[in-house]
Structure 1
Amino acid sequence: MNLAALHPNLRVRIAVGFLQRLLDSMVMSFMAIYLAFEYGVAVAGVLVVTVMVLGVVGTLAGGHMSDARGRRRTLLLGETGVCLTFALMAVADSPAWHSPAIVYCGYLVNKFAASFAMPANDAMILDVTTPESRKLVYTINYWSINLALAIGALLGGFLYNGHFTLLLALAATGTVAIAAATFFLIAETRPEETEQAESGAAAEPRGSILRDFANGYRLVLQDRAFGRLLVAATLFMCIELQLINYIGVRLARDLPAQDLLSIGSWAVRVDGVEMLGILRAENTVLVVALALVAHLVLRRVPDRVRLYAGAGLFTAGYMVLAVSDTGWVLLVAALVLTVGELMDVPVRQALLADMVPAASRTRYMAVYNLNIRVALVVASLCITIGSVLPPWGMAALYGVFGLVIIWQYHAILTPSAARAELARA
């Protein structure tokens, strides 16, 4: 299969997703810094947490609406909200107004709107792909997202100081293009069984909107096989976020300055903070460079092997990052964990797509996307835990996470266990 053979909606959503991630990385990565300078670190922390909480509400609300009213309508509402709030933030940050409070309010609503649209976008990808094409589609999407995040962070880093209003204006302009693409190029993809279920429910006496909302998500949470995959995804993300949490702190505090490369009198000398930046750049560059190659090389490898080996390599790489103080060992560990990541992620996404029922796709995707929010909290707590445990203790904790991930995969992939889970769901 090639890109030309993909559903038109899918080609548009991959392109739009690239632009969305680029704009988000270009602006939103620096909002915490903006709020810290305007309100102080302590207040900024509370403000960012509030944004995260509202994002969870937006995700769940968007998941419910997309299944009830359709993907396209949900996307248009969310993307229009993102566009309007970026424009509001740009005007509020301009020298003529300069209102940090309005900028923050725009940021708050912006993240709600973006979260509101996210499950519909994920469900639309499932709607128009087949089991045979999903690994390739998720590999392309994963490659595209990482490339966008890298470019966006680079642009934002250069333009943030002194040009933040311009960044916001560029984001507003970009989201106009995104909303226009959705309006003119995207067709509705909600499955017929979803529409029939909703129309049948409409013919019966209905309870309150909140009751319908709760009942829809209650069915998702009762799906035990899905719950196992959610646990695996959450722990995987917990490990991944260690690089910017405990491992980042450890490297900045404990890694001695050392030469990574020396030729005669010339040497590349790095400290812990610089090493952290190199490791993050290495991971991003390797994902962008190897994602499509990995798909071609690994396409004949059984899913079970890819999931087990991928989770094992990924975990082992982070365990080394937790304990080593040698630059080249850290670089090799980053290579190993990236290979594990490329083996695992596309297969896990395809596995998720196969187990999600068509009638509740966006509700499932909304709950699944919460793994990132939970992982952020756990990863932050690991900084506190790391102040008590020695580095080898943190490495052992990552090892436990990795074993639980593999255990969840085994329970899902074992045919008898999978049938039992589905029967109980």
Structure 2
Amino acid sequence: MKEFLQLNRNLKLRMLTMFLVAILNSSILPNMTIYYSRYFGTMVTGVLLIMVSIASFLAGLYGGHLADVYGRKPVMIGGGLMIAAGYAIAATMNSPWLQDPHVTFVGFLIAGVGASGANPAEQAMIIDASTPQNRQYVYSISYWIVNISVMIGSALGGWFFRDYLFELLTGMIIVSVVNLCIITLGMKEIEHATEAVSNSLSSLLHAYQEVMTDRRYMLFLIGWVFAGIISSQPDYYLAVHLGADFHATTILGVHLYGQRMLSMVTLTNTIMIVTMMGLFTRISRDWSLAKTYSLGAALSALGFASAFVGDRFWPLIVSAIILTLGEMFVVPSSQTLRADMMNPARIGVYSGAMMAVNPLASIIAGMLVSASGLLGNWGMAAVMVLCGAASIGLVVKSARMPATY
């Protein structure tokens, strides 16, 4: 608690806004696929989700550039206004007086673009307000806070989304407005290194060209793509594997089948992070970041690999414990390494470049699901081990390289 109280005011407020935004996102967004499928069908829904992903990716790139041009706070305020406006449109179109799923999609698209556009500025503000000495602690506690809020948000969405969507969206408008007020009235722009740049398209392209010529950072990003392939598996092959191969059983009177077993893995993961993250932060405090990352990535890869060849309750719970141990080492160390590698004058753009990692990892994870018919469970387990080894090799190599900016 003492260490938390000593943090910069912006960091403490950022953790509060992170808590609110994660509740907002986790209560609504996971259920929107069901919403769109009900009104548009699965084929159109797929197209809509691709549109959202592309728009969010582009917004993240541009938002990172704007964070370097205008500063972090103005971009965060702009993103917050778009989020509030998007949810207001969506709520209006799902009210007792109006129902229009087409305009609802537009509302959520606006909110998604706002959130993605603000994300690099938010990441940059964390780096501006933290120090190399407390940065790993900051990322650890941030990750802990996000997991708590996701638990709350998921429960809210599960209980209220179907029957009380208007009321839920109204609540989310209030949350987004509160979040915007915290940013506007509470946070201060921190002086940061910058270079004279404009907001033109040519300046944007030049800025990201500079990032792509930073070999150290690009090696890290590629290594993080491999890590992203591993961490995304609950939404991809792990769900497929449990649905097809899990031996249904009854534990303490609760009948567990594939889908419920996936929820048990997720529940185990969340409970461990919420209750044990502080302990693991203290354990790894004096380790090198490369060592912490290597151990975490290895445990994550082995945890998912063992889950892919497991088909019964207790072995899968053990796998969930192993992969969660890895996650608690990987996330803070990787975020700290990433921050240390950024050019101080281009932190917004460097943060924006990170927006490409999750979409790319998701695409590859989806391709692996298609290939799993040929690879089988053991083949997919081997792929996880190879991804873990590749991630460790690339990240550790990048961590040992000197800065080129």
TM-score w.r.t. length of structure 1: 0.92
Distance 1:409 1:26 in 2: 33
Question: Which residue does 2:355 correspond to in 1?
Answer: 369
Distance 1:30 1:268 in 2: 25
- Determine which of 328, 346, 365 is the counterpart of 1:342: 328
Asked if 1:223 corresponds to 2:227, the answer is: no
Question: Which residue does 2:397 correspond to in 1?
Answer: 411
DSSP-derived class of the 1:389 partner: helix
Distance 2:206 2:135 in 1: 29
Distance 2:118 2:363 in 1: 23
Asked if 1:291 corresponds to 2:277, the answer is: yes
Question: Which residue does 1:118 correspond to in 2?
Answer: 119
Distance 2:352 2:10 in 1: 20
Q: Is the 8 A contact 2:337 2:399 kept in 1?
A: no
Distance 2:396 2:342 in 1: 18
Question: Which residue does 1:100 correspond to in 2?
Answer: 101
Residue type of the alignment partner of 1:218: Q
Distance 1:228 1:411 in 2: 8
Q: Is the 8 A contact 1:67 1:361 kept in 2?
A: yes
Distance 2:30 2:129 in 1: 31
Question: Which residue does 1:174 correspond to in 2?
Answer: 175
Distance 1:370 1:145 in 2: 21
Deviation at 1:344, TM superposition (A): 1.6
DSSP-derived class of the 1:162 partner: coil
Query: Relative to structure 2, which stretch is displaced further, 234-243 or 127-136?
Result: 234-243
Residue type of the alignment partner of 1:13: R
Q: Is the 8 A contact 1:72 1:187 kept in 2?
A: yes
Query: Relative to structure 2, which stretch is displaced further, 114-123 or 299-308?
Result: 299-308
Question: Which residue does 1:211 correspond to in 2?
Answer: 202
Question: Which residue does 1:239 correspond to in 2?
Answer: 230
Question: Which residue does 1:88 correspond to in 2?
Answer: 89
Deviation at 1:128, TM superposition (A): 0.8
Q: Is the 8 A contact 2:224 2:395 kept in 1?
A: no
Asked if 1:10 corresponds to 2:1, the answer is: no
What are the Cα deviations for residues 247-274 of structure 1, in whole angstroms up to 9, with x where unaligned? 111111111212446xxxxx44421111
Residue type of the alignment partner of 2:296: G
Q: Is the 8 A contact 1:131 1:354 kept in 2?
A: yes
Deviation at 1:381, TM superposition (A): 1.7
Q: Is the 8 A contact 1:124 1:190 kept in 2?
A: no
Deviation at 1:245, TM superposition (A): 0.9
Residues 138-157 of structure 1 correspond to what in structure 2 (within 5 A)? 138-157=139-158
Distance 1:117 1:409 in 2: 26
Question: Which residue does 2:381 correspond to in 1?
Answer: 395
TM-score w.r.t. length of structure 2: 0.97
Question: Which residue does 1:264 correspond to in 2?
Answer: none
Residue type of the alignment partner of 2:395: Y
What are the Cα deviations for residues 254-304 of structure 1, in whole angstroms up to 9, with x where unaligned? 11212446xxxxx44421111111001111111111111111122123323
DSSP-derived class of the 1:84 partner: helix
Asked if 1:77 corresponds to 2:78, the answer is: yes
Residue type of the alignment partner of 2:99: H
Larger gyration radius, structure 1 or structure 2 = 1
Deviation at 1:308, TM superposition (A): 1.4
Distance 2:386 2:262 in 1: 24
What are the Cα deviations for residues 303-332 of structure 1, in whole angstroms up to 9, with x where unaligned? 232111111111000001111112101101
Query: Relative to structure 2, which stretch is displaced further, 291-300 or 141-150?
Result: 291-300
Distance 1:387 1:46 in 2: 25
Deviation at 1:369, TM superposition (A): 2.6
Question: Which residue does 2:59 correspond to in 1?
Answer: 58
Deviation at 1:190, TM superposition (A): 4.4
Asked if 1:329 corresponds to 2:315, the answer is: yes
Question: Which residue does 1:257 correspond to in 2?
Answer: 248
DSSP-derived class of the 1:299 partner: coil
Q: Is the 8 A contact 2:140 2:332 kept in 1?
A: yes
Asked if 1:275 corresponds to 2:299, the answer is: no
Distance 1:190 1:17 in 2: 22
Deviation at 1:409, TM superposition (A): 2.5
Deviation at 1:342, TM superposition (A): 0.8
Residue type of the alignment partner of 2:124: A
Residue type of the alignment partner of 1:113: G
In structure 1, runs of 5+ residues without a counterpart are 203-207, 262-266
Misfit runs of 4+, over 3 Å: none
State the aligned residue count.
404
DSSP-derived class of the 2:374 partner: coil
DSSP-derived class of the 2:93 partner: helix
Distance 2:163 2:250 in 1: 34
RMSD: 1.4
Q: Is the 8 A contact 1:56 1:370 kept in 2?
A: yes
Distance 1:160 1:392 in 2: 38
Distance 2:122 2:235 in 1: 27
Distance 2:399 2:208 in 1: 24
Question: What percentage of residue pairs aligned between the two structures are identical?
Answer: 28
Q: Is the 8 A contact 2:277 2:328 kept in 1?
A: yes
Distance 2:148 2:385 in 1: 29
What are the Cα deviations for residues 37-88 of structure 1, in whole angstroms up to 9, with x where unaligned? 1111111111011001000111011001110111111011110110011011
Deviation at 1:348, TM superposition (A): 1.1
What are the Cα deviations for residues 332-382 of structure 1, in whole angstroms up to 9, with x where unaligned? 111011111111211111111111111100110111132111112122222
Asked if 1:310 corresponds to 2:296, the answer is: yes
Q: Is the 8 A contact 1:260 1:328 kept in 2?
A: no
Question: Which residue does 1:205 correspond to in 2?
Answer: none
